[in-house]
Amino acid sequence: MGTVGRILNGLLNWTISIFFITMVILVFFNVVLRYGFSSGITWSEEMGRYLFVWIVFLGAIVAYKDKAHLGVDIVIGALPRGPQKVLYTINNLIVIATLGLFIYGGVQMFEIASNNHGPATGIPLSFLYSAGLISAITMLILAIIQTIEFVVFNKNAPPWAKPLNDEGDDEA
């Protein structure tokens, strides 16, 4: 991963951490205020929900980048390197198509929700849908890059991929 990739990865991890810490603090203090002082922060729950949505979608990017999403790879791991690349390409084309549909629907929802606002914070609900859009666009780009790196350049192989021997051919 290049310098830009490392910087973006660090920025993504820091953003998730800051959102998580902020969410925990807001919810914790709101609980203390409610049960201890019979009052509360009116916008705390709504902001906690917004931050949680962002954490989930940004975490999905991190998991996709690190190839940490749940998958069943027993069959593809047993195949030789050539068929693995074919199946990996088909799999990622399905992922890309699904993310394309997600982006299409997300743009429509973003437009619909841009006129609606959260009752306590006043933040447009499109803020929530932008988390999904950013996540889907980023994962789509990652899917394309990861497919090209593995299939064309034999780099960044998934954990289940058969190793190449010294000549670069499939191992017997």
Domain annotation covers residue 163: no
Whether residue 102 lies inside any domain: the answer is yes
Q: Do the domain assignments include residue 143?
A: yes
d(C-alpha 87, C-alpha 170), whole Å: 16
Is position 9 within any domain?
A: yes
Whole-model pTM: value is 0.85
Report the domain count for the chain.
1
Q: Between residues 2 and 161, which one has the greater pLDDT?
A: 161
Q: Is residue 123 part of a domain?
A: yes
Q: What is the pLDDT of residue 165?
A: 64
User: Which of 148, 157, 140 minimizes the C-alpha distance to 60?
Assistant: 140
What whole-number distance in Å separates Cα of residue 172 and Cα of residue 101?
40
What tens digit of pLDDT does each residue of 9-62 get?
899 999 999 999 999 999 999 999 988 888 888 899 899 999 999 999 999 999
Containing structural domain, residue 16:
3-151
Asked, for residue 169, whether it belongs to a domain, the answer is no
Q: How far apart are CA 2 and CA 156, in angstroms?
A: 13
Whether 158 is covered by a domain: the verdict is no
Q: How far apart, in Å, are the Cα atoms of 82 and each of 19, 40, 85, 149, 168?
A: 42, 60, 5, 14, 12
79 domain-assigned: yes
